């Protein structure tokens, strides 16, 4: 069982909680995760109507926020049209019509995750439209970089952000690797890293990146979703960094403070939110539903 490091709190600023179980939530809370950001993404199969986008966005700002809060973890989200589904033009246009309503809801810290998948013209078109939306509302952007042709896709994503007049300090470029990190940092963007569970405890490559580039503007996340992934990737990597001699101050920066600094620019997320307790009191109901299933309390399940 993974136990938290004393006195270190963690933020996982990219995790798809809607795909995760209550066992994950209990383990995350025990490991010291105090807040999460859940960006809108695709669901593993294409959606067929704008109605399912509406329901999904509503769950991110409603039920999931409540459900995660019941486990003592603050939940925020990013709302956007993901790159894959930007390729369904008719549907994408309908989603663009409802986005302005959802991105301004309470707890939405950014427009995201948006960007490129296969780097098609339609992906570029809807990426640009959403950057314009972010700019008009002075919002942050969480950028998903492509897994194929990553270096070019990452450079291009940043070029387009600059072209649309976004301030790099309000853009988080995610899914970086050794090939992309230098350019992202040199250009003043936040550089986020997704830790995929290649090893059981944390990620050696991430340790080396922090050793080489320091902790400034670097953010660690799990991107845990419905695929093979680890909801404890952030605390596990923190532990590995400490074991490998990275200073506690640097570990705190990349696993907590930088995400807070980046996303608190939204004015939707501040440290007091969790230092003063989570928004929902245990045993509360959300539109008539609780998560207790006959349990008296959740805190009794989270023995520290
Ligand atoms: Zn994601």
Determine the distance separating the centroid of ligand 1 and the alpha carbon of 193, expressed in angstroms: 11
Are 147 and 115 contacting, i.e. CB atoms less than 8 angstroms apart?
no
Determine the distance separating the centroid of ligand 1 and the alpha carbon of 223, expressed in angstroms: 5
Determine the distance separating the centroid of ligand 1 and the alpha carbon of 296, expressed in angstroms: 33
Determine the distance separating the centroid of ligand 1 and the alpha carbon of 165, expressed in angstroms: 24
Tokens for 111?
A: 């427009």
Nearest to 280 by CA among 57, 26, 61, 74: 74
Determine the distance separating the centroid of ligand 1 and the alpha carbon of 40, expressed in angstroms: 7
pLDDT score, position 298: 73
Determine the distance separating the centroid of ligand 1 and the alpha carbon of 155, expressed in angstroms: 19
pLDDT score, position 284: 77
Query: Can you say how many angstroms the Cα of residue 84 is from the centroid of all Cα atoms in its chain?
Result: 17
Go through 125-155 and write b for each residue having 16 or more CB atoms within 10 A of its CB, e for each that does not. ebbebbbebbbeeebbbbbbbbeeebeebbe
Determine the distance separating the centroid of ligand 1 and the alpha carbon of 295, expressed in angstroms: 32
Determine the distance separating the centroid of ligand 1 and the alpha carbon of 46, expressed in angstroms: 15
Q: 148-205, pLDDT tens digit by residue? A: 999 999 999 999 999 999 999 999 999 999 999 999 999 999 999 999 887 554 689 9
Q: 115-139, pLDDT tens digit by residue? A: 999 999 999 999 999 999 999 999 9
pLDDT score, position 1: 47
Q: 20-37, pLDDT tens digit by residue? A: 999 999 999 999 999 999
pLDDT score, position 2: 57
pLDDT score, position 297: 72
Query: Is the pTM for the entire model greater than 0.75?
Result: yes
pLDDT score, position 299: 72
Domain 10-269 matching CATH 3.20.20.140: the answer reads: yes
Are 46 and 260 contacting, i.e. CB atoms less than 8 angstroms apart?
no
Nearest to 147 by CA among 214, 88, 194: 194
The three-state (H, E, C) secondary structure of the chain, written as one string: CCCCCCCCCEEECCCCHHHCCHHHHHHHHHCCEEEEEEECCCCCCCCCCHHHHHHHHHHHHCHHHHHHHHCCCEEEEEECCCCHHHHCHHHHHHHHHHHHHHHCCCCEEEEEEEECCCCCHHHHHHHHHHHHHHHHCCCCEEEECCCCCHHHHHHHHHHHHHHCCCCHHHEEEECCCCCCHHHHHHCCCEEEEECCCCCCCCCHHHHHHHHHHCCCCEEEECCCCCCCCCCCHHHHHHHHHHHCCCCHHHHHHHHHHHHHHHHHHHCCCCCHHHHCCCCCCCCCCECCECCCCCCCCCHHHCCC
Determine the distance separating the centroid of ligand 1 and the alpha carbon of 5, expressed in angstroms: 26
Determine the distance separating the centroid of ligand 1 and the alpha carbon of 143, expressed in angstroms: 10
Determine the distance separating the centroid of ligand 1 and the alpha carbon of 65, expressed in angstroms: 17
Determine the distance separating the centroid of ligand 1 and the alpha carbon of 74, expressed in angstroms: 18
Determine the distance separating the centroid of ligand 1 and the alpha carbon of 20, expressed in angstroms: 13
pLDDT score, position 183: 98
Rounded to whole angstroms, the Cα distance separating 146 from 84 reads 10
pLDDT tops 60 at residue 303: no
Determine the distance separating the centroid of ligand 1 and the alpha carbon of 163, expressed in angstroms: 24
Q: What is the mean pLDDT of residues 97-116?
A: 98
Nearest to 70 by CA among 231, 284, 296: 284
Q: 233-285, pLDDT tens digit by residue? A: 999 999 999 999 999 999 999 999 999 999 999 999 999 999 986 555 666 78
Q: What is the mean pLDDT of residues 220-229?
A: 93
Q: 288-299, pLDDT tens digit by residue? A: 777 877 776 777
Q: 34-81, pLDDT tens digit by residue? A: 999 999 999 999 999 999 999 999 999 999 999 999 999 999 999 999
pLDDT score, position 201: 47
Determine the distance separating the centroid of ligand 1 and the alpha carbon of 14, expressed in angstroms: 6
């Amino acid at each position: 069982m993974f136990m938290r490091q004393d006195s270190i709190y963690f933020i996982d600023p990219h995790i798809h909680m809607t795909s995760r179980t209550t066992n994950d939530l209990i383990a995350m809370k025990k490991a010291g995760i105090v807040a999460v950001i859940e960006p809108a993404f695709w669901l593993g199969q294409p959606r067929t109507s704008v109605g399912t986008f509406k329901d999904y966005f509503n769950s991110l700002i409603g039920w999931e926020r409540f459900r995660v809060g019941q486990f003592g973890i603050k939940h925020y989200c990013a709302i956007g049209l993901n790159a894959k589904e930007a390729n369904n033009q008719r549907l994408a246009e309908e989603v663009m019509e409802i986005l302005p309503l959802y991105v301004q809801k309470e707890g939405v810290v950014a427009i995201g995750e948006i960007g490129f998948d296969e780097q098609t013209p339609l992906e570029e078109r809807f990426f640009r439209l959403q950057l314009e939306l972010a700019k008009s509302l002075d919002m942050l952007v969480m950028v998903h970089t492509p897994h194929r042709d990553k270096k070019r896709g990452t450079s291009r994503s940043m070029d387009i952000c600059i072209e649309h007049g976004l301030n790099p300090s309000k853009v988080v470029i995610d899914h970086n690797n050794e090939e992309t990190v230098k350019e992202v940092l040199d250009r003043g963007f936040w550089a986020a890293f997704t830790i995929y569970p290649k090893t059981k405890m944390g990620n050696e490559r991430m340790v080396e990146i922090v050793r080489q580039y320091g902790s400034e503007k670097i953010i660690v996340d799990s991107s845990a979703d419905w695929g093979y992934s680890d909801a404890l990737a952030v605390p596990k990597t923190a532990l590995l960094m400490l074991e490998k001699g990275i200073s506690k101050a640097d570990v705190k920066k990349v696993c907590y403070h930088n995400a807070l600094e980046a996303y608190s620019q939204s004015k939707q997320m501040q440290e007091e939110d969790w230092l003063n307790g989570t928004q929902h009191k245990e045993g509360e109901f959300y539109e008539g539903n609780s998560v207790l299933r006959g349990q008296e309390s959740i805190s009794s399940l989270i023995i520290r």
